[in-house]
Amino acid sequence: MHSFTYTANPGRILFGFGKLEALGEEIRAAGMTRVLLLSTPQQVDQVQALSDTLGDLSAGVFSDARMHTPAEVTEQALKYLKSVGADGIVSLGGGSTIGLGKALALRTNLGQIVIPTTYAGSEMTPILGETADGVKRTLRSEKVLPETVIYDVDLTMTLPAAMSGLSGMNAVAHAIEALYCREANPVTSLIAAEGVRALTEALPRIAKDPADRAARSDALYGAWLCGTCLGTVGMALHHKLCHALGGAFDLPHAATHTIVLPHALAYTAPAIPEVMARLRETLNTDDPARRLYEIGCEIGAPEGLKALEMPEEGIARVVDLSLENPYWNPRPLDREGLTLLLEDAFHGRPPSQH
């Protein structure tokens, strides 16, 4: 056994059906008296209803969370938070809402309770990605790690099948990179493999039957595990490419991750034979990168970055951004290989090794 370092992040987890009923109790247990509830515009009715049930525990609702956590939106939310005198943050939603909650926690040191309604997994990480002037930058800080996460499977039952698949594959990307990132360790690898297994088995079932309660529970369980991986180790090429794409072209976060993941894995595969052997077992396939691509097809993912309206000439810009400030990767980054990778991802072709 090689030497390693494993750091477990603190946090309280509630998992199961009907767990949202415990929110008021969790707010009081955390020492909060007036919480600001956050959501996207699409979930404002849901979060407003939750605010109504909390009564005096709710200081108000800010429902303008956006993808990639734009700095200007954070400033608007911060101003509102101060105006209502909130002493805690409750985020209901997916990565956009959770990102805003983290950005506020970074600036205020207030505690957070997160209620995920997708499978993105960012609720388990001390990582925040913020966008300003067309560039998305990430930071790692214990100040942005939520103190409590409530996983209520009931809240995911109405998540559209297409969105379920994309957010789930976003979570899978966290675990895939956790297997080969610089900080990889045996404990995280066990969690990662189980998270990949749970999600990749559940997502095609949800695509066929969105009301499958067992599949929904398995997917949320997998998302928790995959998020835990991202919260305890670092990132590599896949996340660098997705951050560059999202910041430069405002592409939808989960769809971008779903499209890029098979290609980033195929690029790195020659340098990680042991990881590929593990993924062959986990995914029950001879070609893990191709299987991830096939799952994308099964869940109805967009056919390439061009389907997200990314301009083809933007490929060169993303390559430049990736090389200017590269993340560590087992296979070193080279311009030609990254260009071919992104061309495959752009056109929606199956992954190939370059």
- Give DSSP secondary structure letters for 64-105: ---TT-BHHHHHHHHHHHHHHT--EEEEEESHHHHHHHHHHH
**What CA dihedral angle connects 152, 235, 345 and 285, to 10 degrees?**
-70
Q: Could you name the CATH architecture of 161-347?
A: Up-down Bundle (1.20)
pTM across the whole model = 0.88
Helix, strand, coil fractions of the chain, as percent rounded to 5 = 60, 10, 30
Task: State both tokens at 53.
Answer: 């049930």
* Cα–Cα distance measured from residue 203 to residue 161, given in angstroms and rounded to the nearest whole number: 9
Tokens 């949800």 locate to: 206
Nearest in space to 177 (alpha carbons), one of 241, 250, 116: 241
Distances (CA, A) of 286 to 265, 276, 277, 279, 282: 14, 9, 9, 9, 11
| 12-156 is classed CATH 3.40.50.1970 | yes
Beta bridge partners of residue 70, listed in sequence order? 131
What residues does each domain of the chain span? 12-156, 161-347
- pLDDT tens per residue across all 354 residues of the chain: 578 887 778 789 999 999 999 999 999 999 999 999 999 999 999 999 999 999 999 999 999 999 889 999 999 999 999 999 999 999 999 989 999 999 999 999 999 999 999 897 889 988 898 988 888 888 889 999 999 999 999 999 999 999 999 999 999 999 999 999 999 999 999 999 999 999 999 999 999 999 999 999 999 999 999 999 988 888 899 999 998 998 889 899 899 999 999 999 999 999 999 999 999 999 999 999 999 999 999 999 999 999 999 999 999 999 999 999 888 999 999 999 999 999 999 999 999 876
Burial environment of residue 273 by CB neighbours within 10 A (0 to 12, 13 to 18, 19 or more):
exposed
Distances (CA, A) of 210 to 16, 157, 162, 195, 283: 18, 7, 10, 20, 22
